[in-house]
Structure 1
Amino acid sequence: MRTELIFLALLGFASSLPLASDQNDSVLMIKESLETAEVGSRIGLVEGIVLAILEVLRNLMKNGSENFPVLDPIVVDRIHVNESTLNMPNSYITIDDLTISDISTFEMEEINFSMASLLLQRYKLDFNLVIPVVNVNTSGYDLSLRIFGGDVYGKGDMTLQIIKPRVHGYFVIGFRTNEGGIFIVLHECKIKIGLDSFEPVITGMFNNQASSDFVSAFLRNLVKEMLEFFEEEISYIVSVAVLIIGNLVLYDFDLASLLPFV
């Protein structure tokens, strides 16, 4: 559904307002709606804004723009790290033609809005976002590592499916306005990450298929267990990063530009 239709469906009370003649009028209408509407209608307005932003983000991920690179798929021609980066003598890892796809197929399984502070005009967004599957492919890998006095080596193919990676948690958001627009501000967030399964398929480990199957099975269990074991530590790091980066991204993202009557 186009972003304009999402707004028209969700902002029922706003549809009765007169059409704005310029962007400043649109900004004033949104600002006045947020300040004067009943709490339930105000939450509906915020919900519409967030859902519209998600659809804009999905489109940008697939198609990019002048200032936003295509992120689905992400394509990296070559990754090479050597002993100086790994801090391991006589070691390296090379991955060719890395492609990560289907990130933009995310689905919002649950989204709930509530008023966090009526006085400060802040809203809490609880969410549960899932991606059906993320596919990772390469044309090949080559590695040699010296670990604990032993050698780990391999050269072959590597593919990976991340089944139902899940991001859930909450944001506390507010708005700032100026003469040029209206913008979202992230005040708090807590993000947790999980997944249903991690499915690597690797060939060429130790030049032996049985060894490759063992490594694939080992990683399949290890990654999920590590996500669960270090859940709080990972959540803290991701939450801080999202709060900082999210505010940087949203700083110049004018909500008024999304409205059909701009």
Structure 2
Amino acid sequence: MRCIFLLCLLVSMGFSATLKGNHVERNNVAEKASHQARNPVDDVIRDALEIVRQLMLNGTAATPILDPFFVEYLLVNFESPDANLILQIDNTWVTHMAEFIIDNISTNMVRLTMELALSLPNFNIDGHYAMDGILLNLFPLYGSGSYYIHVFDVSLGGGAGLSMGVPPQIRDLHLDFTFQSLEVKFDNLLGGGSLEALIETVINELAKEVVDAIWAIINEPFCQLIEDQINQALANMGGEGSELAVIPDSKEVGNANAYLDEVLAELRQVLYQTPGIDPKTLPDAYTEISGGHAAIYNGWLIGLSSIHRSADATLDYAGRFIMFNGSAGYSNMQAGYRVQVEVWGTGPDAEAFALIRSVDFFFSFKIDAITGAVTVNDFNIYNIGQIDVEINGLAPFDWAFESIAELIIKTIKDDLAQTISSVILELLRQVVEGNPPPPPPQAAKILQIKF
């Protein structure tokens, strides 16, 4: 039985036409086109995407529904030469995402890649908003109520790496998001004087930022669902009796991305179910300001259960031990505080919101393949990225904004570093201990010895 890798290689590169009498045999050209059209891997992926569509609409006990997709809360800070606006949206539903069209699937067995192109005629964003800001540093613009954004002619294009192991798998799927036009409406929008044309321009630009922010939230679970279903379909394709089953296991020892993804999927469930983790209470803090002080209290943080892989992972076998190295992190976590300012015996009570754009850390575990014990060999938080802070209700003490924002940022960073280095790292270690990688051959032999 020939290896399916050779079959797919021929499919990917195309069959050479046969030369007879200095001309190309027409039936060979037709055969080439027929084989290219019937790429078996592409067909499996296409069928898996139809399963994705159904799972987005109906979900399962293990798969949340993605259409409609619920966004409980999102804060958008919009700044342009014409306007400065703060937009809060909540109770927002995103619909029609499952109506995607499969424009192209192309696997290449030479470069070991999969290209994927999807499109959407439109999808809708509907919810509640509250807005406050100013136009041209002069005219107020504010309002609250219902809003909608309808997005038209959406393109989702990207791809993934392809691992020709047993079974073959895709990895690191990414999809870039673009669209052609929007239809936007914010009810009860007030202010702005007679600047109707400027308001329309600003609101359209603001809506684009909302769409980008919401896609950033949807993107990870959407890509993960696609990747999981394609890999499951490829695994089923490689069952007993299938030519895929005779592919030699070409997986490099050093590639542990799939294993880390499995570990983090389990860790996300643990974090979600652990009380006090997501949402998490942030510590109170205090700082002196000119003529008085500012205090932050009733702090909260959302997003610790959304941990994901942020770089390649490796497994290195050395005798009975396995060194497991990887990087994980977070994107767009949200936090908030109540703020109390007191200067000469008076001051406002305000509310602060923060967006933590990225957090990444490296870990190294030493795993005893015989006893199953996992110890921390190395750990480093190498990135706590930009933290954007907005404070509402501070006037007329806006001059204290910078000191309060610095206090909030420092408190969040310190608490994140402490939480990740203790709670998250320990839970990650426990998950690895409960779900170890395959032991090295040396350890398997030792396990068979009777003492």
TM-score by length of 1: 0.58
Q: 1:157, 1:203 within 8 Å by CA — same for their partners in 2?
A: yes
The equivalences for 1:46-85 within 5 A come to 46-76=41-71, 78-79=72-73
Displacement of 1:166 after TM fit? 0.5
> Could you say which residue in structure 2 is the equivalent of 1:215?
199
Superposed CA deviations along residues 35-81 of structure 1, whole A, max 9, x for unmatched, are 353622698121022112211111110110111100000134x4265
The equivalences for 1:217-232 within 5 A come to 217-220=201-204
Counterpart-to-counterpart distance in 2, 1:104 and 1:251 = 15
> Could you say which residue in structure 1 is the equivalent of 2:171?
186
Displacement of 1:191 after TM fit? 4.3
> Could you say which residue in structure 2 is the equivalent of 1:142?
130
Corresponding residue pairs, total: 200
> Could you say which residue in structure 1 is the equivalent of 2:114?
125
Query: Percentage identity across aligned positions?
Result: 16
**Using a 3 Å threshold, how does the CA distance of structure 1 residues 57 and 190 change in structure 2: closer, same or farther?**
closer
Superposed CA deviations along residues 163-221 of structure 1, whole A, max 9, x for unmatched, are 011112343322432xxxx351326x674332111221122222579767753443435
Displacement of 1:99 after TM fit? 0.9
Displacement of 1:247 after TM fit? 10
More strand by share: 2
Counterpart-to-counterpart distance in 2, 1:70 and 1:251 = 15
- 3-state SS in 2 of match to 1:111: strand
Counterpart-to-counterpart distance in 1, 2:91 and 2:196 = 20
User: Which of residues 112, 115, 118 is equivalent to 2:109?
Assistant: 115
> Could you say which residue in structure 2 is the equivalent of 1:168?
157
**Using a 3 Å threshold, how does the CA distance of structure 1 residues 209 and 125 change in structure 2: closer, same or farther?**
farther
- 3-state SS in 2 of match to 1:69: coil
**Using a 3 Å threshold, how does the CA distance of structure 1 residues 212 and 134 change in structure 2: closer, same or farther?**
farther
> Could you say which residue in structure 2 is the equivalent of 1:255?
233
Which structure exhibits the higher relative contact order, with contacts defined as CA atoms closer than 8 Å and separated by 6 or more residues? 1
Counterpart-to-counterpart distance in 2, 1:168 and 1:37 = 27
> Could you say which residue in structure 2 is the equivalent of 1:20?
none
> Could you say which residue in structure 2 is the equivalent of 1:3?
none
> Could you say which residue in structure 2 is the equivalent of 1:153?
142
Superposed CA deviations along residues 233-257 of structure 1, whole A, max 9, x for unmatched, are x9xxx8xx87xx7599639953366
The equivalences for 1:10-49 within 5 A come to 34-37=4-7, 39-40=10-11, 44-49=39-44
Counterpart-to-counterpart distance in 2, 1:97 and 1:223 = 16
Q: Which amino acid aligns with 1:106?
A: F
Q: 2:93, 2:126 within 8 Å by CA — same for their partners in 1?
A: yes
- 3-state SS in 1 of match to 2:190: coil
**Using a 3 Å threshold, how does the CA distance of structure 1 residues 147 and 54 change in structure 2: closer, same or farther?**
same
Q: 1:184, 1:251 within 8 Å by CA — same for their partners in 2?
A: no
Q: 2:170, 2:227 within 8 Å by CA — same for their partners in 1?
A: no
Counterpart-to-counterpart distance in 2, 1:141 and 1:193 = 24
Q: Is 125-134 or 145-154 further displaced after alignment?
A: 145-154
User: Which of residues 186, 189, 214 is equivalent to 1:205?
Assistant: 189
Q: Which amino acid aligns with 1:45?
A: P
- 3-state SS in 1 of match to 2:199: helix
The answer to whether 1:102 aligns with 2:96 is: yes
**Using a 3 Å threshold, how does the CA distance of structure 1 residues 114 and 36 change in structure 2: closer, same or farther?**
closer
Coordinate RMSD, CA, aligned: 4.5
TM-score by length of 2: 0.36
Q: 1:80, 1:92 within 8 Å by CA — same for their partners in 2?
A: no
Counterpart-to-counterpart distance in 2, 1:248 and 1:58 = 9
More helix by share: 1
Counterpart-to-counterpart distance in 2, 1:217 and 1:155 = 19
> Could you say which residue in structure 2 is the equivalent of 1:12?
none
Counterpart-to-counterpart distance in 2, 1:196 and 1:202 = 20
